[in-house]
Amino acid sequence: MVTARRGHPEVPVAWLKEEWRKRGLLKSIQLTSAGCIGPCDLPNVVCITTGEGSTWIGNIDRNEHYQALLTWAVQSKTAGALAPLPREFRDKLFSPFETRDQPHAAECRQAR
């Protein structure tokens, strides 16, 4: 993975958009990704938005993470319900509306 500005790994935005479109995921699982989409102290953030709410994941630093997100989204679409997020994201979940010392709403939602 190429290093982007500020020394953070590059986010493969064009690849993600194309894969989401090709696989028909746009109507069921929205994915927003960037080097910074709000909490800029946390690099490489994605926000997954579904009918159940939003889940924020930060510090995504490998191409394998983006591939795992795509695989998860396809599995969720096929099943007609959200699958649990892959294990590698559990320690990367956060809420942009809470301090890091507070419990994370996203972790609680994913643990159900």
- CA distances to 13, 45, 90, 94, 112 from 101, rounded to whole Å, are 30, 19, 16, 11, 21
Model pLDDT, residue 91 = 92
pLDDT at 2 over 60: no
Lowest mean pLDDT among 54-58, 69-73, 108-112: 108-112
User: Measured between alpha carbons, how far is residue 74 from residues 19, 24, 38, 71, 100 in Å?
Assistant: 10, 9, 26, 5, 31
Decide if pLDDT at 6 tops 70: no
The count of C-alpha atoms lying within 13 angstroms of the C-alpha of 68, restricted to the half-sphere facing its C-beta, is 15
- Compute the radius of gyration of the chain from its Cα atoms: 14
pLDDT tens-place string over residues 62-89: 899 999 999 999 999 999 998 999 999 9
3-state secondary structure of 90: helix
- Stated pTM of the model: 0.73
State mean pLDDT over 5-30: 85
Residue 36 is predicted with a pLDDT of: 58
Please report the pLDDT score of residue 100 as a whole number: 52
C-alpha angle 46/80/67, rounded to 5°? 35
Q: What are phi and psi of 15, to 5 degrees?
A: -60, -45
Whole-number pLDDT of residue 25 = 93
